[in-house]
Amino acid sequence: MGNVPAVGRAVAVLRLLAGRLGPMPAAVIARELGLPRSTTYHLLDELEAEGCVVHLPEERAYALGVTVFELGSAYLRADPLERVGRPLLARLVDDLRLTGHLGVLHGAETLYLVKEQARYGPSLVTDAGVRLPAQLTASGRAIMARLPRGQVRALFPSAEAFVDRTGRGPRTPGELRRMLDEERVRGWSEEDGFVTEGVASVAAAAVGREGRPVAAFSVSFGTGEVPAGSARAGVARMVRVAADQLTRRLGGTPR
């Protein structure tokens, strides 16, 4: 790759990182791309300055940065994701008779692209185009639970990065990490009164070809409408089935 322009080399680094589920040391990146180490470190420094990669000093490795996810979300918001996801969301809302959303991660926020309103249900702030703190929303955490930990740390590096709405929800990186670990194993995320008092949501993420999360389906309801426990888990399973269908339409493989 010695005669490839700098832009091509930078894209090669990003593609390599995108194809791995975990961070990569600079030496491994250099070896796999056939680049001199000095060139590799220079590229990584430039990409880090632009937010395209994040350096994880504890692991002595690099991972994709927030800017890459913002660019990917911007492409999907342009139309394809909404076209593919809207029919699946409409079917889910018809089956459950609960209000549903399709959302993406935009920096440290959840951005709602599509809202399908159930005929009856609580008043929600989550209209299409609304952004909310990602750590408080079921959609945001469903997506973050499928991200490498390095990306999550880049989004929420300290307690100062956490926004509060109702006094509930994670408030520190440690609390968020533990919650995401649980939700990653379970396969779906839940919030109860984190965004709006008396309103709860469950969500599941869809992934693309590279196995990275790109969006999430969620449904919302009054806290007493779907009690916590088996009833709520049953709703979450239906949301996850819809998310798996979206994954297949995006060319990904459900977990």
Per-domain residue ranges for the chain?
A: 6-64, 70-249
SS3 37: helix
> Which candidate, 24, 29, 18, places its Cα nearest to that of 59?
24
In this structure, are strands 109-116 and 131-133 parallel, antiparallel, or unpaired? antiparallel
CATH topology of domain 70-249: Beta-Lactamase (3.30.450)
> Which candidate, 66, 60, 67, 68, places its Cα nearest to that of 28?
60
CATH topology of domain 6-64: Arc Repressor Mutant, subunit A (1.10.10)
Q: Are 57 and 154 in contact (CB under 8 A)?
A: no
Count CA atoms closer than 13 A to 75's CA, side-chain side. 7
Q: Are 220 and 98 in contact (CB under 8 A)?
A: yes
Q: How does pLDDT run along the chain (255 residues), one tens digit per residue?
A: 444 467 888 988 998 888 776 789 999 999 999 999 999 999 999 999 988 898 988 888 998 887 887 776 666 555 678 888 999 999 999 999 999 999 999 889 999 999 998 876 555 666 677 899 999 999 999 999 999 888 898 889 899 999 999 999 999 999 999 999 999 999 999 999 999 999 999 999 999 887 889 999 999 999 888 888 899 999 999 999 999 999 999 888 997
Count of CB atoms within 10 A of residue 2's CB?
8
- The pLDDT assigned to 121 comes to 59
- The pLDDT assigned to 2 comes to 44
Q: Provide the whole-model pTM.
A: 0.72
> Which candidate, 147, 83, 152, 137, places its Cα nearest to that of 114?
83
